[in-house]
A and B are shown apart, each in its own frame.
Chain A
Amino acid sequence: MMLSMIVLPLALGVSLSAVLCMSQHAWLHSSAIAAGFLLVGVIISGLPPFPPISSKHKIIYLLAVICVAAPVVSSRGKLIRLVTAGLIICGAFLWLSWRRLSADMPIEPLLPSLSVLVVWLVGVVQAERSKTGTFLWPSAVFAALLTASPVGLLSGYLGLGQLSGGFAAYLGGVLLLPYASLLLAFPKSAQVFAASTAWVGLTAIGVLAVSLASFATNLHPLAFGLLLLTLLSPLIVVRLPIAQPSHLQPIVVVALAAMPAGGAILTSYLYF
């Protein structure tokens, strides 16, 4: 399990970033990073049947949709990027939850997943506006994925915990080399890299969060709310004077996100 959840995704992320550091094309970065998310999903969850039967299978298909959309939207305007990702998240909500919606089951558990959309929209809008700090939002996505893993495991959705952990390892691997190069020389490619990662990563975690809110059998609303807060840490970091050198920003983002992340994990543990 550790091999497929951590070692392989981490190795894939590092290898991919090593190759992509040689390119400046945003579409290539977007599609390669999205394909990496899809591959990690298949490594952990297995190849889903067609047509998909359960929401777990649908997650892989939604990652495939992100994969297809990523190269297209990377070369378009901000509005297109925003609308496309919004459609994917809304589509994910309806597609994943349609059995519950059509079977007249209680819809209260679905309400938290709507908050994903709000937080996610704030994230994407702010990520688009962010001119400084190329690693701000990818670092926040990394922190959120890292938090979603134990929260998922403790909330009765083991598969999503595994998936989030694998994605965190993969994204960590993707960010490792560009961040090292940022510390050394700050090459231009790092900026393209991080901007693409932000869009793909935010959309992917949006899909995971909707699934977690809809199907985890033991998810505490407070844990879920705190998990979403980890994603918003860049909003504070850009206002902190201590975080103004770019190379410090990822560290401050993760350190700041650790507070709601710790709260989310502790709440899940106590509710376990």
Chain B
Amino acid sequence: MTFHPKMALAAAMILASTTANAAERYQIDEAHTWVTFSLSHAGWANARGLFRGVSGEIFFDQEDVTNSSVSVVLDASSLDTNSEQRDRDMAGPDFLNSVEFPEITFESTRIEQTGERTGIVYGDMTLIGVTREVALDVTWNAEFPLPWDPSTVKTGFSATAQIDGTDFGMNSLVDFGLGPVIDIVIDAEAVRQN
């Protein structure tokens, strides 16, 4: 049998389209997604907060999770730490700088399966204009249709990560005895798109 480069290209394209099709597209459900964080408040306690504005999509291949991808955008000004004054300070140029950088983004680059329902999602997180690789420990919790609407299928994940604020240029954290290590906990629900 003679090998033709055009045949190889066609085979590669068919293979690529098959794997892409295997991953279902999900839209993150903002009302049922919690992106929370905590960091040391000068050693007294852990200060906690969450981002209310979350959007994004997930391409989830249940057969081969390494073929999946995640893209998330957080509204930096939607921070809520249970104090308006603190939220304003955190939104300022010393911390999240939400006027100049209104979005915090995460784009997955590769996924490693670690268990039947667990994996590590590596990706580029961009915070205040600085991009660093972040690893999310993810657990896939469940997927089933809404009991009152069988046509809507929902899936859910929990994830944790740890970042150092100074890696993103938030050196003021240290000046004010905060962090600088920030623990991130995410609980996300997403709706399958037909």
Chain A interface residues toward B at CB < 8 A: 1, 46, 49, 53-56, 99-100, 103, 105, 156-160, 162, 211, 214-218, 272
A-B contact pairs, 15 of them (CB 8 A): A49-B169, A53-B129, A54-B100, A54-B101, A55-B97, A56-B97, A100-B99, A105-B102, A156-B89, A158-B176, A159-B94, A211-B93, A215-B92, A215-B93, A217-B92
Q: Given A53, A105, A159, A272, which contacts B99 in the complex, CB threshold below 8 Å?
A: A105
Residues of B69-93 at the interface with A, using a CB-CB cut-off of 8 Å, are 85, 88-89, 91-93
How distant is the Cα of A156 from the Cα of B86 in the complex, in angstroms? 9
11 extra A-B contacts, CB within 8 A, seeds A105-B102, A157-B92, A215-B92: A46-B171, A53-B169, A55-B100, A157-B93, A158-B89, A160-B93, A162-B175, A215-B93, A215-B97, A216-B93, A217-B91
Separation in Å of the A12 CB from the closest CB of chain B?
20
CB of B172 closer than 8 Å to a CB of A? yes
Separation in Å of the B99 CB from the closest CB of chain A?
6
Q: Which residues of A contact B91 (CB under 8 A)?
A: 156, 217
CB of B128 closer than 8 Å to a CB of A? yes
- B99, B101, B102, B130, most chain A CB atoms within 10 A: B99
Is there an interface contact between A99 and B100, defined as CB atoms closer than 8 Å?
A: yes
Q: Which residues of A contact B175 (CB under 8 A)?
A: 1, 158, 162
How distant is the Cα of A1 from the Cα of B94 in the complex, in angstroms? 15
Chain B interface residues toward A at CB < 8 A: 85, 88-89, 91-94, 97, 99-102, 128-130, 169, 171-172, 175-176
How distant is the Cα of A53 from the Cα of B170 in the complex, in angstroms? 12
- With known contacts A53-B130, A54-B169, A159-B172, A103–B102 Cβ distance under 8 A: yes
How distant is the Cα of A89 from the Cα of B110 in the complex, in angstroms? 46
Main SS at interface, chain B: loop
How distant is the Cα of A119 from the Cα of B102 in the complex, in angstroms? 31
Q: Which residues of B contact A53 (CB under 8 A)?
A: 128-130, 169
Q: Given A55, A105, A218, which contacts B88 in the complex, CB threshold below 8 Å?
A: A218
Separation in Å of the B125 CB from the closest CB of chain A?
15
Is there an interface contact between B92 and A54, defined as CB atoms closer than 8 Å?
A: no
Separation in Å of the A217 CB from the closest CB of chain B?
4
Q: Which residues of B contact A56 (CB under 8 A)?
A: 93-94, 97
- B89, B93, B169, most chain A CB atoms within 10 A: B93
- With known contacts A46-B171, A53-B130, A216–B102 Cβ distance under 8 A: no
The residue on A at minimum CB distance from B128 is: A54
Is there an interface contact between B88 and A54, defined as CB atoms closer than 8 Å?
A: no
Q: Which residues of A contact B128 (CB under 8 A)?
A: 53-54
Separation in Å of the B171 CB from the closest CB of chain A?
6
How distant is the Cα of A100 from the Cα of B91 in the complex, in angstroms? 15
How distant is the Cα of A103 from the Cα of B100 in the complex, in angstroms? 9
Q: Given B92, B129, B169, which contacts A158 in the complex, CB threshold below 8 Å?
A: B92
Is there an interface contact between B172 and A158, defined as CB atoms closer than 8 Å?
A: yes
The residue on A at minimum CB distance from B95 is: A158
Is there an interface contact between B97 and A156, defined as CB atoms closer than 8 Å?
A: no
Is there an interface contact between A54 and B97, defined as CB atoms closer than 8 Å?
A: yes
Separation in Å of the B161 CB from the closest CB of chain A?
22
